[in-house]
Amino acid sequence: MNKLLNKIAVITGGNSGIGLAAAKAFVAEGAQAIIVGRRAEAVAVAVDELGAGATGLVGDVADLSTHARLETLITDRSGGIDIYFANAGTNTITPTEAVSIEEFDTQFATNTRGVFFGVQSALPLMREGGSIILTSSIASQKVLKGHAVYAGTKAAIEAFARSWALELKDRRIRVNVLSPGPVDTPILAKLGVAPEARSEFEVQTAQAIPLGRLGRPDELASAAVFLASDDSSFVTGINLRVDGGISLA
């Protein structure tokens, strides 16, 4: 406990799934959380769950004005941050020949541009010795059907992380990537998995995972705590795959 005592953590996409689980884990370890999400109601519910000290900002990371508003919020509330977890993302599973310009631009705007300019905006506010965590995906390395654009967005931010790990070394800011495999979160429904097909999907997916099941959000949150805390004080520039071994299969 208290691995993140008195730390200020920003989590984009912090109102559900992995982001919310990470925010809860950060708070449990003593941090104050600032979560960013697009849906006002979901952000409000998440802040209520997180409890005293948590703050929510409604905004889309693809809209660069969101980062400016976040910067103002941080300056007014705490003056600086210690952890920036760029977790917000979007995915549309579409074969290459059917990808529209809108789909392409939407995914790159959120997953890549939103991450780059979010970090750029956060850097002046990050305290020395801070931690930046970027959520990528096993799709950046493992070919998945219909994921070409999504994989490209995630490969780009992995390149960002390697560059930033060196650029920020003099400030002792560590930059690492967290790559989930299949995780049991609400995003499954957004990817087209109907409620009645959920059990069959889980069985089929589990067969492809060496550990035999989907991951849990709290397992990704534990990995995020590791990367955010001094437990990983000698770790920077890595891609931590929390995927049950599926990237090996």
Q: What is the pTM of this model?
A: 0.95
- Taking only the tens place, the pLDDT of each residue in 103-133 is 999 999 999 999 999 999 999 999 999 999 9
pLDDT band at 224 (very low <50, low <70, confident <90, very high): very high
- Taking only the tens place, the pLDDT of each residue in 160-196 is 999 999 999 999 999 999 999 999 876 665 555 667 7
Closest CA to 224 of 95, 125, 85, 121: 85
Active-site option among 26, 85, 150, 164: 150
pLDDT band at 209 (very low <50, low <70, confident <90, very high): very high
Question: What structural domains and CATH numbers belong to the chain?
Answer: 8-188+216-244 (3.40.50.720)
pLDDT of residue 204 exceeding 90? no
Phi/psi of residue 221, nearest 5 degrees: -65, -40
Rounded to whole angstroms, the Cα distance separating 164 from 169 reads: 8
Closest CA to 213 of 241, 184, 176: 184
pLDDT of residue 235 exceeding 60? yes
- How would you class 15 by CB atoms within 10 Å of its CB: exposed for 0-12, middle for 13-18, buried for 19 or more? buried
The verdict on whether 84 is a catalytic residue reads: no
| Percent residues over pLDDT 90 in the chain | 89
